[in-house]
Amino acid sequence: MLLILLPVSVLAMLLALTQGSIQIPLKDIWAVMRGQGEPLYALLLLDLRLPRVLNAFATGGLLAVAGALMQVLLRNPLADPYVLGLSGGAAVGALLAMLAGLGAALISGAAFAGALISTLLVFGLAHGTGSWVPTRLLLTGVVVAAGWGALISFLLAVSPSHELPGMLYWLMGDLSYAGHPLLPWSALVVAMLLTFPLGRTLNVLARGPLQAAALGVSVRRMEMLVYVLAAFITAIAVLTAGSIGFVGLIVPHILRLIFGFDQRILLPASALAGGILLVLADTLARTLIAPEQLPVGVITALLGVPTFLYLLYRSRQR
């Protein structure tokens, strides 16, 4: 199945390159890649569409991997970075840096700091005086996410009026102003290199802390590693494309129905399937009412809500 997802990823990116307000045939794409072809097509492909497609694929992969990691950590299929407040914390950090007029590197650091603060806040509040349980952590994350949402609304209310449209589009999930794809792709590669050797350990951790501890897993250390890694890749995804929901929730959930629970397969499959989903969603956002563009977060929500309700219905029927 992984060998199927790889060519599907390539096909999805090729489809995204051909579609838009101006359609580009595949033969012209090949000509541009060889340094030939029309100058207009070269400008559209190399300066606009290719960076956007690469950003969309990497961001979708990051969100799906973060969701898969959070669902292992909490042993709950409803967990994802958006629900647990990581996306909200990263968004607040990035917005504060934007309002302060900081550079791209400092905005990245602020987004990661916001996600990490959210991580520590959720862990601290959920832990209390005793040990935390997944249900308590999930409820705490929902409350913290609501708090971040209120703070985001406050920042929008006090922001200069000329900056509001761009900030709102970014918060809804928008790849129009995404920068160079090197950062999200680097984060995705690092996440894969870190998680693949931990596949067996994550499989044990998914069975519960007692079983994992009995088999020699350092549970607390592994849980903090998973949470910090999820915070890091969520921050990069939010920085690249804003707050995009449902990718980290739906993709791992569907893949578990297909592949099972082996994290050595599920995590790379999540990276590929999440990338495919966001590339196709962004293509739809660019072409649905062309030449106008929709925020890609709107498309993922419109696709994600009925899909998740259907999955819940199937689960209830079984």
Residue (of 118, 136, 133) closest to 231 by Cα position: 118
So what's the pLDDT on residue 134? 66
**Does residue 301 register a pLDDT over 80?**
yes
**Does residue 196 register a pLDDT over 90?**
no
- Rounded mean pLDDT of 19-48? 83
Q: How many Cβ atoms from other residues are within 10 Å of residue 51's Cβ?
A: 17
So what's the pLDDT on residue 83? 75
Report residue 170: phi and psi, to 5°.
Answer: -65, -40
Residues 264/200, Cβ–Cβ less than 8 Å: yes
DSSP state of 162: G
Going by pLDDT thresholds of 50, 70 and 90, the confidence category of residue 156 is confident
Chain-centre distance of CA 276, in angstroms?
A: 12
So what's the pLDDT on residue 316? 65
Euclidean distance between CA atoms 223 and 74, whole angstroms: 9
Please tell me the pTM assigned to this model.
0.88
Residues 57/209, Cβ–Cβ less than 8 Å: no
Q: Which DSSP string do the residues of 190-216 spell out, in sequence order? A: HHHHHHGGGHHHHHHHTT-HHHHHHTT
So what's the pLDDT on residue 58? 95
Going by pLDDT thresholds of 50, 70 and 90, the confidence category of residue 129 is low
Average per-residue pLDDT for the chain? 84
Encoded amino acid at 119, one letter: T
**Does residue 132 register a pLDDT over 70?**
no
Chain-centre distance of CA 69, in angstroms?
A: 12
- Rounded mean pLDDT of 165-172? 77
pLDDT for 219-266, tens place per residue?
878 888 888 888 889 888 888 888 888 898 889 988 988 888 888 899
**Does residue 275 register a pLDDT over 60?**
yes
pLDDT for 85-119, tens place per residue?
888 888 888 888 888 877 767 777 888 888 888 87
pLDDT > 70 in the chain, percent: 96
Encoded amino acid at 184, one letter: P
